[in-house]
Structure 1
Amino acid sequence: MIEPTSPTATRPSEAGVPAAAVIPASRRPFAAAFRALVALAALTGIALDTIDSHDLGRLFSYFTIQSNILLAAAFAWSAHRAWAGRPALSPRITGGVLLYICITGLVFHFVLSNDSSGFSMSSQRTPLESAASQLLHTVTPLAAALDWLLLTAPGGFLLRHAWQWLAYPLFYFPFALLRGALLAPGTDGRYPYPFLDVDLHGYAGVLGNAVVFGLAFYVLALALVLLDRIRPRPALSRNRISPTVSGPLK
């Protein structure tokens, strides 16, 4: 005779059955697909630049390439977690990647492509270079901003994140100068950007430029934190939005 189930019967998790096998995880397929496409766009841009480049060392010294590599890795990882229903990445990670790709887009469009900025890098581009430039300087920054605004719940960025995110840009500055110092004078692309060119501005001038850009990047980071706190919650279905509170990284 089978005894009736009592209120204190063994729970699935206590019997060795994972809770996830009983309660399905909240998958976010729309967010996963979008983030996978953004990662693919970044990788495509990098691949096009690599095909058209005759100096890979110079190519991968650019902040543009490095920031898009970080974006591709973070968005691919985030896409996997959204598809599997795992907790979202830490806002410290996603906010840093967002800041770096925003720096890439803003500096390119307002400084490097602006003849009146004094730091223009206007030059003739091949079709591959033009396509790569659009993907890496325009498509990925806009897509990352849209992902933040439309597919991520607000309130995850903290004030302390703003200065923590600056670690990578601050590291990039001595990296660019050291690389230039190790190359012979007159080497094409010795310094990746005009505002970091010691031959043009001297070390004192480059340091001054770095301080100005560093302060601008910090203001941008603070703006992202502020906007993240005051922006409305995206009006999308719940299964499309990544929560800001992250769980253990699995």
Structure 2
Amino acid sequence: MSLRRRRVAVAFRLAVVLSVLAGVVLTALGPATVTGLLPYFTIQSNVAVGVLAGYAAWRAGHGRPDPPSVLKGAVTLYITITGVVYHLVLANPASPFAMVQPDRTLGEALGNQFLHTVVPLLAVADWTLFDPRGRLRARYAAWWLAFPLAYLGFALIRGLVVHRYPYPFVDAGQLGYGGVALNSLLFAFVFWLLGLLFVGVDRGLSRRARPRGDTPGGAPPATVPAGRLSG
């Protein structure tokens, strides 16, 4: 990465960190407390993005390689899940799992948009523009499901204790564990496909970035000695 590109990457990633901070702080200024927000996948994925973006900015500023692509891909997938699920499932009146949207102050509304819209878009843009290409593998899409599945276990165990669930599609009190299991399988399948999409985009961008004539392994194309051209 050139010096100019590193500087742009640092500035962009600092913007990601500030957006995460703005989203969390503005949301916490409302009725919800910071500890009350932590059980939500939204907050956990945003915090992961903020921490990784800050670390990546520091590494870029010191001329060091980016964090591992498999880690960057995972965190980018999780924040993408946050944005997609919010807009298509939770805030969509046509969804069977739509949540009633409360009346929010201006600050809370801005915080909500930072967490569910601005940060996911910035994170995907950062991954697209600055992450090294061609390092993701199809098997990573399955590996990346580990955190969402762990979160599901956390939400269910917590629900047994506090009798509240962060999202309606994991509400075992209303749906039963069979209903939650069915929803979880469906969401896991969609998230796996989304992970495969990230891998496919990475490969496509890698091919576009590769100079013409380069082989996939990076070796120069074979040449024919001039003396053999005449037969």
Once the two structures are superposed, the pairs formed by residues 95-244 of structure 1 within 5 Å of their partners are 95-123=73-101, 124-184=103-163, 190-231=164-205, 232-233=208-209
User: Residue 207 of structure 1 aligns to a residue in which SS?
Assistant: helix
How far is the alpha carbon of 1:26 from its aligned partner? 5.5
Structure of greater relative contact order (alpha carbons < 8 Å, 6+ residues apart): 1
How far is the alpha carbon of 1:151 from its aligned partner? 2.1
Question: Normalising by the residue count of structure 2, what TM-score does the alignment of the two structures yield?
Answer: 0.84
Equivalent residue in structure 1 for 2:20, among 25, 31, 42: 42
Q: 1:182-228 deviations in whole A, cap 9, x for unaligned?
A: 014xxxxx100010111221111011111110111011001110111
Whether 1:71 and 2:49 are equivalent positions in the alignment is yes
Q: Which has the higher helix share?
A: 2
Name the CA distance, whole Å, in 1 between partners of 2:97 and 2:105.
Answer: 21
Equivalent position of 1:14 in the other structure: none
Q: 1:83-139 deviations in whole A, cap 9, x for unaligned?
A: 110111100110011100000000001000111110111322222221111101111
Once the two structures are superposed, the pairs formed by residues 17-96 of structure 1 within 5 Å of their partners are 27=3, 28-96=6-74
Q: Percent identity?
A: 43
Letter in 1 for 2:66: A
Gaps of 5+ in 1: 1-24, 185-189, 235-250
Contact kept, 8 Å, 2:29 with 2:108, in 1: the verdict is no
How far is the alpha carbon of 1:156 from its aligned partner? 1.9
Name the CA distance, whole Å, in 1 between partners of 2:99 and 2:193.
Answer: 24
Structure (1 or 2) with the larger CA radius of gyration: 1
Name the CA distance, whole Å, in 1 between partners of 2:146 and 2:64.
Answer: 28
Equivalent position of 1:9 in the other structure: none
Letter in 2 for 1:191: Y
Q: Is the alpha carbon distance of 1:146 and 1:233 closer, same or farther for their aligned partners in structure 2, counting shifts above 3 Å?
A: farther
Moved over 4 A (4+): none
Equivalent position of 2:223 in the other structure: none
How far is the alpha carbon of 1:43 from its aligned partner? 1.5
Q: Is the alpha carbon distance of 1:191 and 1:30 closer, same or farther for their aligned partners in structure 2, counting shifts above 3 Å?
A: same
Name the CA distance, whole Å, in 1 between partners of 2:38 and 2:157.
Answer: 15
Name the CA distance, whole Å, in 1 between partners of 2:106 and 2:142.
Answer: 38
Gaps of 5+ in 2: 211-231
Contact kept, 8 Å, 1:153 with 1:233, in 2: the verdict is no
Name the CA distance, whole Å, in 2 between partners of 1:214 and 1:54.
Answer: 28
Contact kept, 8 Å, 1:58 with 1:192, in 2: the verdict is no
Question: Normalising by the residue count of structure 1, what TM-score does the alignment of the two structures yield?
Answer: 0.78
Between Structure 1 and Structure 2, how many residues are aligned?
A: 205
Letter in 2 for 1:198: A
